[in-house]
Structure 1
Amino acid sequence: MNITRGKVAKAQKVVIYGPEGIGKSTLASQFPEPVFIDTEGSTANMDLARLDKPSSWSFLLQQIDWVKQNRPCKTLVIDTIDWAERMCIEHICQTNQKRSIEDFGYGAGYIKLEEELGRFLNVLQDVVDMGINVVLTAHAQIRKFEQPDEMGAYDRYELKLGKKTSARTSALVKEWADMVLFANYKIYSVATDKDGKKHKAQGGARVIYTQHHPAWDAKNRHGLPEEIPMDYSYIAHIFNDVPGQTTQQPTQVVETWSSVPSESVEQQLAQESEQSIEQPTIATSQPDITTETSNTVELNPMIPKSLRDLMVQNNVSEEEIQIVVSKRGYYPMGTPITNYDPGFVEGVLVGAWPQVYGMIEEFRKSLPF
């Protein structure tokens, strides 16, 4: 047994939430060497490193797995976690053939949501354990809150997660985080008459609240002041000198792929194609911040995007999907994917992609070459 004393420098789990347009993404972009997973597509006008917008829950999990394997950054930003929760709900409904999370009955759907999101946070914990900070941004919502030992109720800001009282995803995310930072506009009410009966709002400075308050959720474990300006320099010292943060700049990855002449790319892909014939492998070692042109398989653009993204990422052809589907007796061999039922595509192929791809790998291993 070892006993240690003093503070231990480690990567941080941070939640930044606030109203839309407050600057959550901008603040997150100032963290050390960030790479964004933009679940809602709101960073298009920002100069930052990002992975492709995930089109499904399975694709989002594969992107995080790629970050774990390749360590392309010092900070992974999920922007936003409430939009990721939407994909999680959609995934649960599709895999269980439900139209809504309410269709499970008696709160069972929200229990499944809590379990799935809990597994998602465990995966992010693995990223943190590798020395990579994880930042989750989220929108804020105002809820009526009533304490059990007090009379009356009042409004307070909370994470825009778990819209039903039976959902605990908001509490789960707050418990997981080392820091919960609430960003908001600081508004002053100024009297406009001598009796103080009429007021107008002034100010509007952007601030970050770091400690719990009856009107909002916030916390930190670093002794930060209760209120600080919305400026990364006030929290930068927390993220310095984190051990194990040996990475390459994400922007260098993008520039390397974008600056290669098209002829060189074609030669490189041809070499990779020859190697894949000798020993089929999953193409997870290649950064999926590239476009579909980095894949050797040409896919029908009419294939649903959520499935097509997974096929592109793992270099899976339409024929391989057809083989697996026909072996399981779902559709005859040769049936185009575009003729598959959309519920089957989303609920089975996308929803159970790890199992589908496992069958494809087994098929590849059975080939005589």
Structure 2
Amino acid sequence: MLESLNIENYRCFPSFKLEKFGRVNLLVGKNNSGKTSILECVDFLLDFNTLKSLGEAMILRGEFFSIENVLEANDSQDRKIELDISSLFNQHTFVKNNQISIDGYDHNKEKFERNIKIFEYEKNKEQKDFMEISLKTSVESQDSISLVISARKGIDAAKFFSSNHNGSYELNKKLSLPVDFLRSASLRFQDMLELYDDIILTDEEKIVLEALQCIEPEILQIAPLLSDTFKNSNINAGFVARVKNNPKRVSIGSFGDGIWRMLGIALKLVNVKNGILLVDEIDTGLHYSVMYDMWKLILKTAEKLDIQVFATTHNSDCWKSLAEVAQDEEIGENDVTIHRIEKGATSSVMLNVPQMAIAAKRDLEVR
């Protein structure tokens, strides 16, 4: 598990440090304080598909220059665009030798480090900038890759999603944990179908059902529809449920938008065994009354499957529910943490389980 994270020159952070991570960690703070950027840093540091995760983050933020067919493409790999590299650097400062550094230690005190640096080189009497992304650890040699930057400070997105580039990170593959990132938007049906295929008729399928029962206790069973109608669709459809005292199957969308969010969280969670799950705006679409059961399920599953969870929220009900569950379930003092992220600060304000309980009891504002 990751125990600490140090960020230098990435997005809104000139320098920022987080320490004493537990198994489940909730990041709170105002809009534009950098919560999502911290999730990106964890993803960037530990996922061996480094370029892919970084490219996806920029595309989802709209940080690219359009070339052609951007709106027609369903898949990031097919988009004819250049990624705006300057958006990654603090204050968008794009100069030679500027560097982003992200490092952290795991529970074995092994250090992971990732750097992005801008260089200039001369080739055929022509000066061009290029970006180098490197990975190194305290026990292994450095591995790196270089990408040429265009005149408008962009890099062809296809280079970020090239299997050849990602496949070259042999060092990273050996060291990385399974890492998955669930953003605030709902998953596409095709993504959910692939995740569900991996857990059919397993104990993990029961966990997913239990998650949906947090919202609707009368759901007895769920299943995906295999019709081509829903494949590559962005609408919330394609899963049906068998419900108590109802002979007909029911679309799970009938139970509201929150059921899709809960399904996405549960599917991502059970498919990242022995790894790390990142969830942005975990409470999106969920009523406060289900958050206690949601956190109880996440804590139990994370312990059972050896998963570390990082999530963000703006919602006071969300962190208070986490504090209540941690206390009720007698979770270890440092197994669950809340980190408050304040704009302009150099480190997070960390609350452990006893401190969370005091803050909730006194109705203190920690967001």
Q: TM-score, normalised by structure 2?
A: 0.28
More helix by share: 1
More strand by share: 2
Q: TM-score, normalised by structure 1?
A: 0.28
Larger Rg: 1
